[in-house]
Chains A and B, each alone.
Chain A
């Protein structure tokens, strides 16, 4: 694996594990009816116009190699998305071809499967490209973000959901 790819993968984990959904924030998100993007846009600082934006600081610039080392020194505290008032979900995930996994300590079904060496296609990892589409034979899932990709009634997008029950996938 090249450094670039390793860094990309680590960067993704780092982002993912820092994401914690607060139930209040979640409800408000639903009330506004918008995507999370919209929520963040509303709350975030207004971006500066390009001429006013500071140049990146020298000491902030990471080389790919540095980054790997740097991240290795800062292990993740709690890797699972936490929903207030909801128990941490732990569910069995079975595939029609006989492969088995267990969902626990993960932000999304996709991350959980990847961590257990079950390869699922992906691209956007946030529900808008449809690459991760799999068929749900049995069980139920909860979407962390409203998925935008087209899926059939019996399909799910593992990149943006977590199980609500044991699952059987194809």
Chain B
């Protein structure tokens, strides 16, 4: 179906599926088929933060004092995160917006992607602070073979979906000859690619980031690179919300809640899902190997980080209703939870200085009973 920026058809929004129904028209939020997306938008907006509000002056000194092998760990993770957020800052928009059919989901996708651009901006903030010439870090991202290899598996599902989706919008279903090549466009295959894209996004946000998160918090446990850890906490908070959004989309699809064909696709793709999770976990373990090639850091080594990867892989795939794929049963890095818990007011008093600057930060220590006389 050809994309239009303002669909003039009249239709019942409650009859629309998440994707591949009518293109959206009025951006209205008074009637919502899936209220969860509105809740996610509200939450994401309440999380708004700006990287420049986190002071990194101590990190510069810390970084200069790090031994070379730890500098390698720190900078490599930063490069990898930059890659992941570069992808996430644009791809949900490019891939999903042309085929979305619900206004609240459309806005969630935009809000989600926008928050990724904040993550990307925070990496520039961090890099500027630790090296005199940021190009030495950024230019390597497209050259470094360890990063490039992973970039391919991160982006291939998006790219395969976008390619077919473009044909679908221009030419519709059927067999078409484009530049002498036969292209078979069918909606079932398109939906299959969309489902697998969502799975790979879930893996990206819910597993791939966590090796870097663990390293950042391991530095901060030693009171090193603490400004960076504050930024990572804010990023991790956003990512936790994103993974919830993606899990909802996947479950709505898998249960055929608004498009029965997706339930069938989810059933067909069960092995692919396990394979995507498995591949990502193995790549992250290889990455841990690369990070620690010249030496481990205090509190973390390749083995324990690999177990952590396996553990969170089990957790994430379990949330989608699959059996665990690795043997690990307990979190080998339980101390990370306290760091991952980064709500601006509920946690860490040492975060107080961030939250006081945050736009929209609320003093949640105020007893709601104090508001008893207010009329809402």
Contact = CB atoms under 8 A, between A and B. Distances in A.
Do A and B come from the same complex?
A: yes
Interface of A: 2, 4-5, 7-12, 14-16, 18-22, 24-25, 28, 31-32, 34-35, 37-44, 47, 49-50, 53, 56, 61-62, 64, 67, 119, 121-126, 128-131, 133, 146, 148-150, 152
Interface of B: 36, 39-40, 42-43, 46, 53, 220-221, 223, 236-237, 240-241, 243-244, 247-248, 251, 315, 319, 321, 331, 334-335, 337-341, 343, 345-350, 352-353, 356-369, 371-372, 374, 376
Given A11-B348, A125-B343, A35 B244 contact: no
A44 to B, nearest CB: 5
A58 to B, nearest CB: 12
27 contacts: A5-B338, A7-B349, A8-B338, A8-B347, A11-B346, A15-B365, A19-B368, A22-B368, A22-B369, A25-B371, A37-B362, A39-B376, A41-B360, A41-B362, A43-B374, A47-B358, A50-B359, A61-B353, A62-B349, A123-B240, A124-B343, A128-B43, A130-B244, A131-B315, A148-B40, A148-B43, A149-B247
B298 to A, nearest CB: 12
A25 B369 contact: yes
B244 A128 contact: yes
Contact of B243 (A21, A38, A129): A129
B335 A15 contact: no
Given A25-B371, A67-B350, A133-B319, 7 more contacts: A7-B350, A12-B347, A35-B42, A37-B42, A47-B358, A123-B341, A129-B244
Contact of A20 (B341, B352, B353, B368): B368
A78 to B, nearest CB: 12
Given A5-B335, A7-B349, A129-B240, A18 B365 contact: yes
A67 B243 CA distance: 34
**Which 6 residue pairs spanning A and B have beta carbons closest together?**
A129-B240, A150-B247, A22-B369, A8-B348, A25-B368, A11-B349
Contacts of A32: 376
A15 B315 contact: no
Given A44-B362, A50-B357, A38 B42 contact: yes
A40 B372 CA distance: 13
A42 B360 CA distance: 11
Contact of A47 (B240, B337, B360): B360
A148 B315 contact: no
Contacts, number: 153
A5 B336 CA distance: 10
A28 B376 contact: yes
Nearest to A150: B247
A35 B364 CA distance: 14
Contacts of A25: 368-369, 371-372
Contacts of A11: 346-349
B39 A22 contact: no
B244 A41 contact: no
B338 A18 contact: no
Contacts of B371: 25, 43
A73 to B, nearest CB: 15
Contact of A7 (B40, B346, B348, B357): B348
A52 to B, nearest CB: 11
Contact of B346 (A4, A15, A34, A150): A15
A133 B337 CA distance: 14
A146 B39 CA distance: 10
Contacts of A5: 221, 335, 338-339
A122 B337 contact: yes
Contacts of A8: 338-339, 341, 347-350
B233 to A, nearest CB: 10
A64 B372 contact: no
Contact of A4 (B237, B337, B350, B365): B350
A89 to B, nearest CB: 19
Given A8-B338, A123-B341, A53 B357 contact: yes
Contacts of B349: 7-8, 10-11, 62, 64, 67
Nearest to B311: A121
B376 A150 contact: no
A131 B349 CA distance: 23
B338 A21 contact: no
Contacts of B220: 4
Contacts of A12: 341, 346-347
B151 to A, nearest CB: 27
